[in-house]
Amino acid sequence: MPDYHFKLMLGTHLTVAELAEAAALLSRAYSRWQTNPNNLAPVETDTAPEVYARTMRKGSHEVILYYEAGSLCGVFVHSLSPQYDQYPLRKLSYLGVFPAERGYGALQNAFNRYAAFVEEQGEDVIIASDLDQATLNNLLEHAGFREVIDRNEIYFLLSQLLRRQVFSFQKVRGDFVIDQIITLDGKAVRRSKKLLRLQTTPYDFYALYCQQQLKRIQRSIPPRNRAILQEALRAADQGIYFISSFDGTITLENEERGGVNVLRAMAGSAVEQILPEIMDPEQGLIYLLPEAEKELCARGEKIVLRPGFYDFLFFCLKILGSFFVASAAPACQVRGALQRPLAPTLPLRYIDLVETICAPEIQMVPGQTRKISDGTVRTAYSLSGPYVEIRDGMYQVRKDLMVRTILSHRRDNPAPVIFLCSTMRDAQTVLLLHAEAHRRSMPVLVFDFGTALTRWAGEELLGSEAEPDADAYFNIVSVRDFYQIPTMLELLGLKIEASIDLNVAG
C-alpha cells in the first residue's frame, strides 16, 4: 500500500484547515527561494501565507495536495484555461514540496509521483519556470517535463490557450528565454523563464492546430501563388509591410463579446435615431457634444482590442516588419486606443510599435452648432487631412489613398504586403491591392477576420477568364484571430531566425 496519496479539488473547495496548511507550505517554499543564493534575481514580493490563500481561492485554480504518511508534504496549484473543458491542459502556477525524508532522492520521488498522478487524470501540464531555478528544472525534467522551444507553440500554449502575456521571446546562446511579466497579488514583476511541458496524453494539440492552419492555406491559396509567396517571404528581412484596418480588425466591435460600438460611444446610445441630424456628409461635418476630441481620445482608451493583437505586434517587430494602421475612424480615437501601455512595468505603448497611423483628423468648426432632437446642442466638427476628399458632393475618407501612400515608401522591396481587415468596408482597398499586386508583381496576402470579404473576393474578384494571370500575386485567407497569422506565415515559408542574421555583428 503506498504511503502517499493526493487530493485534487478546486481551490474554493478546500476546507479552512486545508487552505491554511497549504498556504503555509507555499509561503515557506517561496520565502526560502527569495533568500536562496542560487536565486540570481530575487524580487521583493509578499510571500505571506495570506497571498497564497487568496490565490488558491480563485475560481480558476485547482489545488493538488500531496500527503506522505498522512502529512501534507506538497502543494501544486494548477491554473485552468478559459477552454479547460476542451483541452485537458493545465498550467502549474505555484508549487512547494517538502518530503518527510530529506535529500534530492525524496524530492525526485515526490515529483515523479506528481507526474504519475497527472497522467492518471488524463491531462498535460505546462510550467513557465524561472531560468535560474536549476534544481526545480532538473526535478521537473527527470519527472518527464520537456522544454518547448518552438516560438509559435509557446504562443499557442501560453497566449492562445491560457491567455497569458508573453512579453518577449529570444533565443540566446541556444537557450530560449521567455521574458514574462507576472503579477502576484497585484504586483507586476518581470522574469526570465522557459516553458516545460509534461505530455501524458496522446494529443498533440499544437500539431493538430498547425495541420488545420496548413489545410486552410492550401485550400485558400493555389500552389503557384504559394510558390510566389514563399519566394517573397525569403526577403522578409527587407521589411514585410503589415497594413491593418482599425474598427473591427484591431478592435472588437461586437458588444456582446465585450466590444465597443464606437459610433454609439461617440454620439450616445440613441445614435441611430439622431444619426441623420448629426451627420452632414455634404459638408463633411459631424455634430458632436463639446470637447468631443478629448472625449474620443478617452473613448479610445476603453476600446477592446482583439485578443492576440499584443502578441502580433511583438511578432511584427521580431521579424522587423512595419505595422501601419489605415482607418476611417478619427485619428485621435485610434491614438487614444493605442496609447495604452503594453504591460505593467514596461515603458512601451502599443503606439510605439506602430509605424504610422493614417486616419482623418477632426477639427472643431468654431461657432457652428446645431440643436438636436434629443435636446442637446452639438458643435460641428469637420474631417480633415490628406485622406479626406469630396466625391460626388459627399465627403469621403479615402482608405485606398492611405494604402497608396504607405506603398509609396516601399520602393522595390520584394517582401510581401499583408493587409488585415474584417468587413466589406474594405472592399475598395482590397480591389486596389489586387490591381497593384498584378501591376507591380507585388505579393499581397489579405487576412480577413470576417468571411464576407473573402466570399466576395472569391466570387467577384478572382478567377477572371479575361485575365487568368491577374491573381498570381494576390491572396485572401479568412482567419479567426491574430494567433493564426504567424503560424500561417511560417507554414508558407517565413523563417523567423532568418529575419535577424545572428551572425552579423561580431
Partner 1 sequence: MEIATRKKDNAVMVSVTGRIDMVTAPAFEKSLSDEISAGVKRIILNFSALEYISSIGLRVILAASKKLKEQQGEFVFVGLRGPVNEVFKISGFHSLYKMFESEEAALQEM
Residues that bind partner 1 (CB under 8 A): 167-168, 170, 172, 179, 237-239, 314, 316-318, 320-323, 346-349, 352-353, 355-356, 409, 500-502, 504-506
CB 260 within 8 A of CB 302: yes
CB of 179 to partner 1, least distance (A): 8
CB-wise, 279 or 317, nearer to partner 1?
317
CB-wise, 321 or 330, nearer to partner 1?
321
CB of 315 to partner 1, least distance (A): 10
Count of other CB atoms within 10 angstroms of residue 427? 16
Measured CA to CA in angstroms, residue 123 lies from 19, 44, 58, 116, 492 at distances of 24, 33, 21, 10, 32
Quote the CA–CA distance of 89 and 80 in Å, as a whole number: 8
CB-wise, 26 or 407, nearer to partner 1?
407
Quote the CA–CA distance of 65 and 42 in Å, as a whole number: 27
CB-wise, 69 or 505, nearer to partner 1?
505
Count of other CB atoms within 10 angstroms of residue 494? 23
CB-wise, 274 or 498, nearer to partner 1?
498
DSSP per-residue string spanning 400-462: HHHHHHHHHTTTT--S-EEEEE-SGGGHHHHHHHHHHHHHHT--EEEEESSSHHHHHIIIIIS
CB 304 within 8 A of CB 259: yes
CB-wise, 370 or 410, nearer to partner 1?
410
Ordered alpha helix ranges (H), 170-239: 205-220, 223-233
Quote the CA–CA distance of 22 and 65 in Å, as a whole number: 8
* Helix axis angle, 484-492 to 205-220, nearest 10°: 70
CB-wise, 356 or 368, nearer to partner 1?
356
CB of 168 to partner 1, least distance (A): 5
What 3-state DSSP class applies to 242? strand
CB-wise, 280 or 352, nearer to partner 1?
352
CB of 16 to partner 1, least distance (A): 45
CB of 316 to partner 1, least distance (A): 7
Count of other CB atoms within 10 angstroms of residue 116? 13
CB of 346 to partner 1, least distance (A): 6
CB-wise, 179 or 295, nearer to partner 1?
179
C-alpha cell at 311: 502578441
Which amino acid, 352? D
CB of 319 to partner 1, least distance (A): 8
What 3-state DSSP class applies to 490? helix
CB of 426 to partner 1, least distance (A): 22
C-alpha cell at 238: 527587407
CB of 414 to partner 1, least distance (A): 13
